[in-house]
């Protein structure tokens, strides 16, 4: 049975929750990061579920796969920024473990979906 909406995709749901986590963590960053690293991280985080949604609404597996690839790129960008934040001391060990575990899970889901969509073409 085909998926009716991007909202029913578990990876989209988890990505939205991930954005909320990232924003919560960014709220603890120093104020001088508001327009630097924090801003870049917000854009990268929001890009993940946004690209999943946009790709799903394109109504072709080829386009959907392309947008999933973009979401994967945004996830990699965000993971890099999270590592920088951790090295700067903006994330404690608990937060680092939580955010990287969620990023890993979403990455696996996106790669699996991308592979499935690519094989259907």
User: Over the stretch 13-70, which tens digit does the pLDDT of each residue have?
Assistant: 999 999 999 999 999 999 998 889 999 999 999 999 999 999 999 989 999 999 999 9
What whole-number distance in Å separates Cα of residue 110 and Cα of residue 93? 25
How many domains, the chain? Answer: 1
What whole-number distance in Å separates Cα of residue 28 and Cα of residue 65? 35
1 falls within a domain: no
Burial bucket for residue 113 (CB in 10 Å: 0-12, 13-18, 19+): buried
Quote the pLDDT of residue 3.
65
69 falls within a domain: yes
Quote the pLDDT of residue 1.
45
Sign for the pseudo-dihedral over CA of 53, 113, 73, 78: positive
Task: Read off the CATH number of the domain in which 15 is found.
Answer: 1.20.1440.60
Identify the domain containing residue 86 by its residue range. Answer: 6-119
pTM for this structure?
0.94
The answer to whether 43 touches 109, Cβ cutoff 8 Å, is no
- Write out the H or E segment, with its range, that includes residue 42: helix 37-57
23 falls within a domain: yes
């Amino acid at each position: 049975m085909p998926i009716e909406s991007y909202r029913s995709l578990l990876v989209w749901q988890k990505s939205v929750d991930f954005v909320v986590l990232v924003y919560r963590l960014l709220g603890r960053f120093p104020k001088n990061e508001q327009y630097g690293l924090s801003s870049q991280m917000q854009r990268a985080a929001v890009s993940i579920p946004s690209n999943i949604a946009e790709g799903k609404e394109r109504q072709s597996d080829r386009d959907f796969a392309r947008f999933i690839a973009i979401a994967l790129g945004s996830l990699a960008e965000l993971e890099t920024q999270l590592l920088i934040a951790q090295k700067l001391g903006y994330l404690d060990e608990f937060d680092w473990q939580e955010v990287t575990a969620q990023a890993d899970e979403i990455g696996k889901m996106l790669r699996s979906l991308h592979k499935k969509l690519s094989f259907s073409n």
